[in-house]
Structure 1
Amino acid sequence: MRYLLAGDIGGTKTILRLVGADAAHLQTCYEREYVSKDFPDLVPMVETFLATAQEQGADFGKPTRACFAIAGPVVNNASKLTNLTWNLDGDRLARDLELEATELINDFAAIGYGVLGLEPDDLHTLQAGTPDDQAPIAIIGAGTGLGQGFLIKQGEMFRVFPSEGGHADFAPRSELEFQLLKYLLDKHQITRVSAERVVSGQGVVAIYQFLRDRGIAHGTAELAEVVETWEREAGQTKTVDPAAAISQAAQQGTDSLAVQTMNLFVGAYGAEAGNLALKLLPYGGLYVAGGIAAKNLSLMTAGSFLDAFIHKGRVSKLLEAVPVHIVLNPQVGLIGAARRAAGL
């Protein structure tokens, strides 16, 4: 059995996993989460991780390969993390950790590899479609931003391709969405609005502000205070998470403004997923990842996501055959990093 290292590295936290790999399976031997800023670099964190695993009796041999998913851009197997002082280089990490090979990949690329290793319980299927295992696979995920990517089969393996599709133009579909577009253009004094400005955590807040400021909907004082606190803290350390508060109130049905916010958001999310599907025809499956979908499963399954996904005029029938799944496993990126390490 070979032993591998996998990691999901973020500005706030890093999760490391030690994996045993044989011809057919990957088995987790040990896993631990760290506060990223507690370490000056990834190397001492990994060294601490391996030493702790040994002290606690984890059964493993010397790792030979590693793959680390990075919350940021990766160029030529190197990355400078935005919220850390770390400058990571795969070749240096392999040398310092005495590994045969180390690869750095973008965290959304890791999700692409990860969907290939998910179990049925890790998914909620919105549309069974007509699967084709030779067709492309699409991934989309709203969280802090809007990630998009796709997988193409090459022989018996899939290759993951990242995308910047989340920065494509937001396409309004109704009078209300046209008003939202105008609101965002004026509010931010910009000349275009990307899909990410609407379909993301920041988009949830932006939609709430739009409906509130235009007097289209009204909500509770409690939720209004959360959003106003976040607005007052512009440029400072945030003490509240308005997107989470809005989505929770919508799921509970306790705030009509939150309900309308999330209805508009979910529809825009489904429409953008449909746009991605039109470009790729991913009959291998379209996977909706990111924290927002899984945490708002009741809203995502209520109908407006899939309705907007399919509603593409004369070509709507094409999208009815696309399998659509919501990823429920929050460690899909870590699974993907382990699978990529095994394939190095």
Structure 2
Amino acid sequence: MLFPFPVLLCDIGGTNARFALKSSPDAPLLPGLPVKTAAYESFEVATAAAIAGFDVRPRSMIACAAGPIFGRSVQLTNAAWSIDGALVAQELGLDQGLLLNDFEAQALSLPALEHDWTTPIGAPVPPQPGVQLVIGVGTGLGAAALIEVEGRFLALASEAGHVDFGPVGAIEAEIWPHIDISAHGRVSVETILSGPGLARLHHARCEAAGIVSPALDEIALVEQAHARPDGEEARTLGLVWALTARCAGDLTLNLLAKGGVTFSGGILPRLTTFLEPSKFRARFEDKAPFVEMMKGIGTRLVVASDVVLPGMAAIAASPQKYMIDYQARAWR
């Protein structure tokens, strides 16, 4: 499998689509202007606008999208776009292309992370061999795993954001009955651990405590929390970190992800003011009878932006290092 250069890289989320161009394997990554997904009627129209911003025309593309992949196509979970890779290649005149799930791509990007792109949560835990887990809280919640098999990397995609998520302890038990479940009729992980979920969680927490609070979306909630570090909004975001730690601990046990947990993308880097690493680690490790094992598993936060783009560029440069079914998934 070859991806002829220049290669266009694209990270398609429910809210934003980000583009970059790699003109050759050793060339620097050229960022394009991000676009709002809702501002364009289709992925093809948005991509044509992005290509117009570069001096050279791409010959191939690797894109990742927030939704389950079926061969060469995807329907975004939290946006209206439906993408068919073969049609994209034909319409844009591309020689080759590949479509990945967004967190499949995040997992495949882990080997490309530079040391200064991440920061440990709590005391650094030395890396160890084994399954690696990557989690992100954005428009939804994404998670995927990475394993290495005979020197090649294999990503295991998931829809972990849609599994049921119940309360633990008296405080959470008081909050859960107030969570708005009108969308799907149940509380899943991303019902509360996602961009829109933050506001949903805040409203439920305030109702449970008998506190009258103004209606806030997630953007206003974060702004208010930064403006009032001792206010209710900040307390909600502190709870977000605790629930994220608990969720991550559960997923770590599911996969025995002894290779470590990376939190990448989304909104968590903007919420570090409300992160208490010792409390985070306590919730993450509180998985009896495996507390000691959990203590030996590292947790880190990606602080650099758009790291999935250089990760996909690494796939384009060395596709043989990745266990991807190119025959079934490549666009040409």
Shorter-chain TM-score bucket reads 0.7 to 0.9
Q: Which stretch of the first structure deviates more once superposed, 299-308 or 274-283? A: 299-308
Query: Could you tell me which of 193, 196, 199 is aligned with 1:202?
Result: 196
Please say if 1:150 is aligned against 2:145: yes
Q: Distance in 1 between matches of 2:34 and 2:273?
A: 29
1:313 — aligned with what? Answer: 288
Find the counterpart in structure 2 of residue 9 from structure 1: 12
Residue of structure 1 in register with 2:322 after alignment: none
Change (3 A) 1:47 1:202: closer
Q: Does the Cα contact within 8 Å between 1:80 and 1:87 map onto a contact in 2?
A: yes
Structure 1 residues 116 and 20, CA, compared in 2 at 3 Å: closer, same or farther? farther
Report the equivalent of 1:160. 155
Change (3 A) 1:40 1:172: closer
In structure 2, do the counterparts of structure 1 residues 301 and 122 end up closer, same or farther at CA, with 3 Å as the change threshold?
farther
Q: 1:268 to 1:80 in 2, by over 3 A?
A: closer
Q: 3-state DSSP class of the match of 1:109? A: helix
Distance in 1 separating the partners of 2:196 and 2:80? 25
TM-score calculated relative to the size of structure 1: 0.79
Q: CA RMSD in A?
A: 3.0
Match of 1:268 in 2: 243
Q: Which residues in structure 2 correspond to 1:134-145 (within 5 Å)?
A: 134-145=129-140
Deviates more, 1:159-168 or 1:243-252: 243-252
Aligned residues: 315
Counterpart of 1:234 in structure 2 is none
2:233 paired residue among 250, 258, 267: 258
Correspondence for 1:291: 266
The aligned amino acid for 2:261 is L
Aligned to 2:33: 32
1:82 shift after superposition? 6.2
- Unaligned 5+ segments in structure 1 are 55-59, 219-223, 231-241
SS at match of 1:296: helix
Does the 8 A contact of 2:238 with 2:275 survive in 1?
no
Q: Is the CA contact 1:201–1:292 (under 8 Å) kept in the aligned structure 2?
A: yes
Distance in structure 1 (CA, Å) of the matches to 2:227 and 2:74: 41
Alignment of 1:150-189 (within 5 A): 150-184=145-179, 188=182
Give the SS at the match of 2:297.
coil
Kept after mapping to 1: 8 A contact 2:5/2:59: yes
| Equivalent residue, structure 1, for 2:221 | 246
**Runs of 5+ consecutive residues of structure 2 not aligned to the other structure:** 320-332
The CA distance in 1 between the partners of 2:288 and 2:79, in whole Å, is 46
Amino acid at match of 2:307: V
> What SS is found at the alignment partner of 2:196?
helix
- 1:46-195 matches, within 5 Å, as 46-47=47-48, 49-54=50-55, 63-81=58-76, 86-126=81-121, 127-132=123-128, 134-184=129-179, 188=182, 192-195=186-189
| Distance of 2:127 and 2:86 partners within structure 1 | 39
Corresponding residue SS for 1:259? helix
Q: Which residue of 2 is the match for residue 221 of structure 1?
A: none
Shift of 1:36: 4.8
Secondary structure in 1 matching 2:107: helix
In structure 2, C-alpha distance between the alignment counterparts of 1:143 and 1:179, rounded to whole Å: 25
Shift of 1:325: 0.8
Percent identity of paired positions between Structure 1 and Structure 2: 26
Rounded to whole Å, the distance in 2 between the matches of 1:111 and 1:140 is 9
Q: CA deviation at 1:44?
A: 5.4
From the CA coordinates, give the structure whose radius of gyration is larger: 1
The Cα of 1:125 is off from its aligned counterpart by: 0.8
Match of 1:233 in 2: none
**In 2, are the aligned partners of 1:271 and 1:308 still within 8 Å (CA)?**
yes
Q: Is the 8 A contact 2:14 2:139 kept in 1?
A: no
Equivalent AA in structure 1 for residue 259 of structure 2: G
- C-alpha change, 1:276 and 1:98, in structure 2 (3 Å) is same
Q: What is the alpha-carbon distance in structure 1 between the residues aligned to residue 52 and residue 73 of structure 2?
A: 26
Partner SS state of residue 313, structure 1: coil
Q: Greater CA deviation, 146-155 or 25-34?
A: 25-34
